[in-house]
Structure 1
Amino acid sequence: MAASELIQDADDVRPHVEANVTTMNPPSPPHPPRVANGNPTRLTSSPTLAADTHDGKGSSKLSSLLKQNQLIHSLSSGLRKHCDYVKISVPEELADRLPREWWKTGVAFLYAIFNLFFTTVIITVVHERVPDKSVSPPLPDKFFDYVDRVPWAFTVTEVNGLILVGLWLVQWLLLKHKAIIGRRCFFLIGTLYMYRCVTMYITTLPVPGKHMVCAPKLYNDSTGKIWRILRLISGGGLSLTGSHLMCGDFLYSGHTVMLTLSYLFIKEYSPRWMWWYHWLCWLLSASGVLCILIGHEHYSIDVVIGYIATTRTFWWYHTMANSHALRQAPNNYLSRTWWNPIFNFLERNVQTTVPIVFSSPLPLPSCCRQRYRMVEGGRDE
């Protein structure tokens, strides 16, 4: 009886002893708690567990992640609502690399005006040195040997020149970056006419044809020379206006300069898809230059030198302007030109290629701004 009681007491105590032993063992890896059906529960999907452990490190990280997700979502939704504002920031960065600097354009304009005025002075001076046709007949010219003179041909030249200059003026007014392009145009005009002053003064050629009628020489009449200068300026140096009655301005041709330079600027600063416009301007320029020779108003050498001087100066300048790596390159021979300091002054802050963008020269009403877009053409060939 005592033994059975002892055994029963031992059975009753055994579970208690086993429980104590398990608590003394090292902690086993945690198992996910089970629900009534025996499936483990997920900690992340239990809101009560996250609420019970809010003071722990895991809950703090979880709350910070939730806050970051909410912040990212709010920023993305805000960017979608204000996407137009993000697009506007790109031209602002481009404007920093293409500053207008109208005062530099004004300096280039004064440079061009001075050289144009100086050209009229040189023409007046050279006119007094032109030999008489009876003493020095026209020089032999191969083009004149094969092509007879057409009296109305030079009128075609001046009409074509006026059309090209007018087209370029309208196009320049519609360009967005007209300040940068304008000072390039003014600098090239002033430089080419300064070259012309030098060539006219150092070599005075006889008239290219006996049909030419030159105004009488004034010799020491300074007042009469001043009036001739003013008359030449007022008429734009054109025969159409009757202001150009002096001779001696043959080497090289000023009409060739304006016809060629107008076409080069029109083509350079217009979209490539306007090929029909380029061809029209090229026909006007080429036919105008050809009519100079057909009218026997200039020697062939005058036209050839005028074309070479205009195209090379234009291409040299724009090569340096569009190739920014050349500006500081030690082996850049174009930087040895005499006008390189002037180029650095005009183009110092232009840090990228000027895009072809058109805009209205006058501010549009608010109702029209949403209807019209800027016409932009790429430079890809």
Structure 2
Amino acid sequence: MAASELIQDSDDALPHVEANVSLMNPQTPSHAPRVANGNPTRPISPPMAPSEGHNSRKTQERSRFSVLLQQSQLIHSLSSGLRRHCDYVKITVPDERANRLPTEWWKTGVAFLYALFNLVFTTVVITIVHERVPDKTVNPPLPDKFFDYVDRMSWAFTVTEVNGLILVGLWFVQWLFFKHKSIVGRRCFFLIGTLYMYRCVTMYITTLPVPGKHMVCAPKLYNDSTGKIWRILQLISGGGLSMTGSHLMCGDFMYSGHTVMLTLSYLFIKEYSPSWMWWYRWICWLLSFSGVVCILVGHEHYSIDVVIAYFVTTRMFWWYHSMAATQVLREAPNNFLSRTWWNPIFNFLERNVQATVPIVFSWPVSLPSSCRQRYRMVEGGRDE
């Protein structure tokens, strides 16, 4: 009795503590076990068996997988229902918005008309200037240092025109196979038109005497407007070449149009040809250089005509392509190249060209769909 009373008294002396403990095992007894000193121990949940934890983990993963499966089935059923009962509105985004190199052939057409107008206008100015050329018997040719050291060779100017035709033909074929031919074409047409417009100005404001007494100039027509029109048409039909017999007028010396075409053709060929075609570039350079030299050897232009033509052509080409190839340069506030008079025309032609034109070639004419399908079948058979 004494022991039991002591235990009971010790139980009464302990403070009353309430605690809510969640037990994993429902079979755990409700009363906490006592020890010999009469202090109760905290209820401790028995450790879970490894197999039970593994089973509960598997159960959770299965429940998660079943939920994901139900969601995917629900999404699939909704999408199939929408396909059957709803009409879709397809919104197409134009390719030009995403394309950084749009074709814009209409701009190329405008540049072509600009070049064509200036070429025709050049023939008109040549016809006008021809009437003002001083007579070679009264005004002898001006002294030229190149002519002092190199005698005239009659065949040299024919070499110039043949080389020019070869270079123009090579550039035309290269342009046809170029992928972004619309962009390059409008650049070429703009530069040709601008250079020949400059030539009209220089020819008109200063009329030089003939560079050699060997030159045969057509008789002057003075007030014969009909005869002048026929001369303009004859000059256009013959391409302004002496070898075709269409160019018998004098006065178009400052500056050399043949030098412009030889230099400009080579610059475009070099700029838009791959670097591995170095041999092709060297051949074109030799054709251009020899053609320019033969102009002087034939005494068809003064040396100053050739020098100015080379200077104006190369600078115009480099200025234009520097602005076209450098996007930062276009937007720079202190860009002095933007102060040129033709900067608005440049912005019109190059506004949507937001990247450097890559050197990529393709067939100029796309194959028919039947040929493309047969080609794919052949390629598929080879792969197999």
Output the TM-score relative to the length of structure 1. 0.78
The structural deviation recorded for 1:42 is 8.4
Partner Cα distance (1:237, 1:269) in 2: 27
User: How far apart are the structure 2 equivalents of 1:155 and 1:26?
Assistant: 116
In structure 2, the partner of 1:272 is 275
Q: Which moved further from structure 2: 16-25 or 137-146?
A: 16-25
SS of 2:273's partner is coil
Aligned to 1:175: 178
The structure 1 segments of at least 4 consecutive aligned residues displaced by more than 6 Å after TM superposition are: 16-19, 65-68, 92-95, 369-372
Q: Which residue of 2 aligns with 1:49?
A: 56
Which position in structure 1 is the counterpart of 2:7? none
Report the number of matched residues. 323
In the alignment, the residues of structure 1 paired with residue 112 and residue 376 of structure 2 have an alpha-carbon distance, to the nearest angstrom, of 32
* Structure 1 unaligned spans of 5+: 1-15, 34-39, 69-91, 373-381
Contact residue 153 and residue 298 of structure 2 kept, 8 A = yes
Secondary structure at 1:327 match in 2 = helix
CA deviation map 1:18-38 (0-9, x unaligned)? 8842699656477441xxxxx
Query: Which of 209, 219, 223 is matched with 1:220 structurally?
Result: 223
1:234 alignment partner AA: S
1:165 paired residue among 168, 172, 179: 168
Q: Secondary structure at the match of 1:172?
A: helix
Deviations along 1:181-211, one digit per CA (max 9) or x if unpaired, are 1000000000000000000000000000000
Which position in structure 2 is the counterpart of 1:296? 299
3-state SS of the aligned residue for 2:213? coil
Q: Deviations over 1:249-295 (max 9, x none)?
A: 00000000000000000010111111111101000000000000000
Change (3 A) 1:214 1:371: farther
Q: CA shift at 1:170, angstroms?
A: 0.5
2:119 to 108, 116, 120: 116
Distance 2:33 2:164 in 1: 108
361 and 28 in structure 1: CA distance in 2 versus 1, 3 angstrom threshold: farther
Specify the SS of the correspondent of 2:228: helix
The answer as to 2:360 corresponding to 1:357 is yes
Distance 1:298 1:18, change over 3 A: closer
Matched residue of 1:270: which SS?
coil
Letter of the 1:284 partner, please give it: L
Deviation at residue 49 of structure 1 after TM alignment: 3.1
Are residues 17 and 119 of structure 1, via their aligned partners in 2, closer, same or farther at CA, if it must alter by over 3 Å?
Answer: closer
> Structure 2: how far apart are the matches of 1:275 and 1:67?
63
Deviations 1:48-85 (A, max 9, x none): 53564479xxx4389659999xxxxxxxxxxxxxxxxx
Partner in structure 2 of residue 139 of structure 1: 142
> Is the CA contact 2:211–2:300 (under 8 Å) kept in the aligned structure 1?
yes
> Unaligned regions of 5+ residues in structure 2, if any?
1-26, 35-39, 73-94, 380-384
Percent identity between the aligned chains?
74
Alignment of 1:21 with 2:32, yes or no, is yes
Correspondence list, 1:1-381, <5 A: 20-21=31-32, 28=44, 31-33=47-49, 40-41=50-51, 43=53, 46=54, 48-50=55-57, 52-53=59-60, 59-60=63-64, 64=68, 96-364=99-367, 365-366=371-372, 367-368=374-375
Q: CA RMSD in A?
A: 2.9
